[in-house]
Structure 1
């Protein structure tokens, strides 16, 4: 087999300066060869301008140096002699320790192709090669690095360094690379080989438990999509023949990014499973939910995807109104499949649903923007959050998950099928490819035996409240009202550190907004008028819970806040009757019918 005509060599040039060195060889360049670096990475809907990290681009054909003329913020053009290979050399500063871009230091290397690999315009559909030479051992520790990626190996050593091949640029861009002294383990799920690598794990880390739980999640999802015979002789095959989980454990962080044959994850070290623990950290359930979420994307968004994503345009925003279906429905199934995989019980699952409901109910933006509009605006709102985000938009993750639940519970109530059936029908009819909203409407009508146009209009394209209470009650779950926490009661989101209450968000329509609070205020204290048996008083507050101590039965106060170094006195009245939801299982049989596989 001939070597690909597009070849990348990525070296760890200077780990202390966080610099990768990239060499790109183009065997048959165009006379005016254009190259470009993506401005975004699929799955994270924000223009991130990766070219800002590219440095010292040089071009040559043999010994002849060529000018690489920059023509816009992320593209260059080189005037080439025909028939001679073109070699580009450049460096990339890798200083983003997230799942979206690239990172390099003395202990770890990571990159996505969208951050390091230039697109060779006119040849993006051709095979691409990636060479990853092993870096020398880091000074001081002498540890030998290893390498992990879902790309197909061409010739690699036992540590994973060497040559890999991608079918085209899209596959190269969709296959992140992890390097370092990570923990690694392999397992099979329904006959598919999987690998899990963890960077930064402490000595208490229980890798055996992580693998056992991850295998159960993977098998539950493959059975969800393809039935109980998946992976067995004569049974259906999943769309992926390999998979790599790459988890970076840090002091503080959370997130994931899906890829066709892998996922990049980040979590806090405290959330990892711990060897010998009687009870695992609460955050471990969150980590399992993240693993479940990103793995579900193997089907829902990486293959079954919005029609607008049939072919990515890496040069600009790719708009769709369907993120509620692909991110929101995935957010519904991530925790539901944890339950079906036996990783959590009914009570834990209801707590997760409860949390999602309260998150949406405490977002005033749900009355301003529909979940379809929020999907379209992800590029400028969800991924660019500020102090007014909660008042102007709603998360297509959380509300999208509740929309999915409403469709599922409605179908189950009417006895014609489930949302599981709808998702499998969408997969079958699309061939695991691009779909439009009309395809979803057609599939749910086929399963439910009637049109769901009204529900789609009300739940997806309007700001009407979802019928959560009645649907949950019909499936054995009763919503109860609990008193709201103080910040929720006042309509605030705050941070309390070092004896200071810092206002981060003032929610629309709340008591704090009516009093005149503003984001970035520092709430210093309160003044109370004279009351029966008590003189007028003033108190310094260090946290919102102090209010109960100083107010007693009083509802009126004057809040003292600092804003731009000015002291302001704001008349504040505590509201009454502000509640949050608490879900309680009432009918175990009906609840089990919902939470069991269908």
Structure 2
């Protein structure tokens, strides 16, 4: 489909035309043919007790209106993933019956996520039995079942009809847990309470729509704790659900929990309204359960390495996760880009506004981390310095705009790219953070400090909650033009031109005007900041040594070149990712020796010799870099108001 340029034509009109075209070209079952409800309530029972084989066994009953052809879909385009990331290969053993009679199915050869059924005369209900085969290891996907923690994403355990919108199909779900395990989810039992397992281990939930079910995943674990983040009796309360490999990892100090309560309070002051019935943070600390950060309207899935509370003073990397996913309840779930509002999960999504959906969420998540005390202002500035530095060096900007990076999800490209800074990736997260900082400081400057992006947030995301007849909350769409109009209502300016110039330009360099207007500039230090030095790696291995801003290298503890910056000194010397660094100046490689060699050549008297292994070949290369070690740092700008500190200040 042609790329949507919202400043040239109404996004609403373009979207309507695009959806019309899609409906005429897609398989007939891909778009709803009726706006009415599905006849009857689907039941879904997931037995998640087989930890030996990491299998979730599913029994589903599906009411049908009568005989004839029926298409059931496995969800493919998943909210929050921004692309076709449902994996139908994880469904196995499908058998369909009507009473004692087996009903044959066949797969649509043009859409392997569609299962075609001929319903016989006299049949009013089908029974489906199948398994969700959870990944056994990270090479097969994100592990979701371990001996201590499991996750149920209902989209992985569900076949559903697409003849009506997902919001029009009712499902009553239940899950069976291992003995003694505790569940955490935004779903509630039929009496509206936090659901508990019965004597057989089954946890039963009230009927909800397919849309609400898919948007309400479940974590469960052997070691779990629930912490209320609001005072008793608060309407639409918020809770923090903790799960971990070991019980000691659940221990949090009063100060740590108070920072999470301040996150809720500061978010209330920013947005001015809560658009949920209740909200549940699901936070798992595990070496084995897969890491995740995925937003939902009334909850979020968060999986981090152990040490979230224990290593509180050492690193803040994981502590920006919960604020980010929490902000998504307002931006992305309640207010949602119009081209992401599809009727169900087998209609392709479009991502033209991810620089708002994800980029503004990234900005507010960063700001709320500081305002709540989850990070200090110094730690937040350190984090922002690294964001600014790696984006300012983004070589791929010369050929690929930030707007084009919003297509990453539908491209479904590998996240482990060989030339990351040249190919670009999901830059709409962090680069848009700089854009929204630019907008925030510009509003503050033009209004003489009377207005800020906070005023936009309250006006744009604090609109009244819209409820459907079933009690669920209806998402409110927005377009490029809506964003521009709301910005102009706060502070008149050419916001359409401001945004399009930053989204469609080729640089050079990152949009750093907001940083300068905020009273800070990007500078360089010869030593790493504490933020960077203590940042944990994603896979639990030692953090790669960072020489990106000198030689242009990231080197793993095993000596593998994980990254080589495009057109850097290392690149020009013929280095590429995947090579193994064996020696520095004929001494066995260690990060310390490479750092010493870089500093020793400041005057060009001792060019750096590197011995590398490529398959069965060895190479000796020389790099004459004279800039010493360099690490990003923010420095105060002379004569400029410190607006960044004002942005970080609690409200």
CA–CA separation in structure 2 for the residues paired with 1:119 and 1:238: 30
* Deviation string, structure 1 residues 263-309 (Cα, Å, up to 9, x no partner): 11011112x224xxxx83323x3333211111110101111111111
Q: What is the match of residue 73 of structure 1?
A: 112
Q: What is the match of residue 54 of structure 1?
A: 91
Say if 1:151 and 1:414 are closer, same or farther in 2 by CA, change over 3 A: same
Report the CA distance between 1:39 and its aligned residue. 2.1
Deviates more, 1:82-91 or 1:304-313: 304-313
Q: What is the match of residue 304 of structure 1?
A: 335
Which secondary structure state, in structure 2, belongs to the residue aligned with residue 217 of structure 1? helix
* Deviation string, structure 1 residues 131-157 (Cα, Å, up to 9, x no partner): 3254453xxxxxx12222212322686
Check conservation: 2:228, 2:239, Cα contact below 8 A.
Answer: yes
CA–CA separation in structure 1 for the residues paired with 2:481 and 2:377: 34
Which secondary structure state, in structure 1, belongs to the residue aligned with residue 556 of structure 2? strand
Report the CA distance between 1:436 and its aligned residue. 1.3
1:37 equivalent among 74, 99, 122: 74
CA–CA separation in structure 2 for the residues paired with 1:385 and 1:316: 27
Check conservation: 1:126, 1:168, Cα contact below 8 A.
Answer: yes
Q: What is the match of residue 159 of structure 2?
A: 118
1:159 equivalent among 197, 201, 218: 197
Matches within 5 A, 1:224-373: 224-226=270-272, 237-251=273-287, 254-270=291-307, 272-274=308-310, 280-283=312-315, 285-311=316-342, 313-315=344-346, 317-373=348-404
Q: What is the match of residue 535 of structure 1?
A: none
Matches within 5 A, 1:379-528: 379-380=410-411, 384-394=415-425, 395-415=427-447, 417-427=451-461, 433-465=476-508, 471-483=514-526, 486-497=547-558, 501-526=559-584
Greater RCO structure (CA 8 Å; 6+ sep):
2
Normalized against structure 1, the TM-score is what? 0.85
1:222 equivalent among 262, 268, 278: 268
Report the CA distance between 1:364 and its aligned residue. 2.5
Instruction: List runs of 5+ in structure 1 lacking aligned partners.
Output: 138-143, 227-236, 528-537
Say if 1:146 and 1:581 are closer, same or farther in 2 by CA, change over 3 A: closer
CA–CA separation in structure 1 for the residues paired with 2:409 and 2:626: 33
Check conservation: 1:487, 1:544, Cα contact below 8 A.
Answer: no
Report the CA distance between 1:547 and its aligned residue. 5.5
Which secondary structure state, in structure 2, belongs to the residue aligned with residue 446 of structure 1? helix
Say if 1:45 and 1:575 are closer, same or farther in 2 by CA, change over 3 A: farther
CA–CA separation in structure 1 for the residues paired with 2:55 and 2:513: 56
CA–CA separation in structure 2 for the residues paired with 1:296 and 1:267: 18
Check conservation: 2:74, 2:159, Cα contact below 8 A.
Answer: yes
CA–CA separation in structure 1 for the residues paired with 2:205 and 2:218: 11
Higher strand share: 1
How many positions carry a matched residue from both structures?
A: 561
Say if 1:111 and 1:305 are closer, same or farther in 2 by CA, change over 3 A: same
Say if 1:402 and 1:514 are closer, same or farther in 2 by CA, change over 3 A: same
Report the CA distance between 1:249 and its aligned residue. 0.6
Does the alignment pair 1:561 with 2:612? yes
Check conservation: 2:226, 2:242, Cα contact below 8 A.
Answer: no
Say if 1:219 and 1:191 are closer, same or farther in 2 by CA, change over 3 A: farther
Check conservation: 1:492, 1:507, Cα contact below 8 A.
Answer: yes
Say what the alpha-carbon RMSD is for the aligned residues: 3.1
CA–CA separation in structure 1 for the residues paired with 2:413 and 2:431: 13
CA–CA separation in structure 2 for the residues paired with 1:366 and 1:182: 46
Q: What is the match of residue 543 of structure 1?
A: 591
CA–CA separation in structure 1 for the residues paired with 2:176 and 2:463: 45
Q: What is the match of residue 583 of structure 1?
A: 634
Check conservation: 1:36, 1:75, Cα contact below 8 A.
Answer: yes
Say if 1:66 and 1:286 are closer, same or farther in 2 by CA, change over 3 A: same
Report the CA distance between 1:49 and its aligned residue. 4.2
Check conservation: 1:152, 1:166, Cα contact below 8 A.
Answer: no
CA–CA separation in structure 2 for the residues paired with 1:178 and 1:462: 42
Matches within 5 A, 1:120-159: 120-123=161-164, 124-135=166-177, 137=179, 144-154=180-190, 158-159=196-197
Report the CA distance between 1:63 and its aligned residue. 0.8
Report the CA distance between 1:169 and its aligned residue. 1.2
Check conservation: 2:242, 2:282, Cα contact below 8 A.
Answer: yes
Which secondary structure state, in structure 2, belongs to the residue aligned with residue 295 of structure 1? helix
Check conservation: 1:247, 1:266, Cα contact below 8 A.
Answer: yes
Which secondary structure state, in structure 2, belongs to the residue aligned with residue 70 of structure 1? strand
Q: What is the match of residue 534 of structure 1?
A: none
CA–CA separation in structure 1 for the residues paired with 2:587 and 2:147: 50
